Structure 1
Amino acid sequence: MSDLSRRRILRGAGAALAAGAVAGCIGGDGEGDGTIDGHLSGANNYDGTVVDMTGESEVTVAVGAGNGLAFDPAAVRVDAGTTVTWEWTGRGGRHNVVAAEESASEFESDLAGGKGVTFRQTFESGPQLYFCNPHRAQGMYGAVAIAE
Structure 2
Amino acid sequence: MKIRVGFGYDVHQLKEGLPFWLGGIEVPHTHGALGHSDADVLIHVICDALLGAANLRDIGFHFPDTDPQYKGIDSKKLLAEVMRILREKGYEVGNIDSTICLERPKVNPHIPAMRTVLAQVMGVDEDDISIKATTTEKLGFVGRQEGVAAYATVLVTKA
TM-score (norm 2): 0.25
More helix by share: 2
Larger-gyration structure (1/2): 1
TM-score (norm 1): 0.26
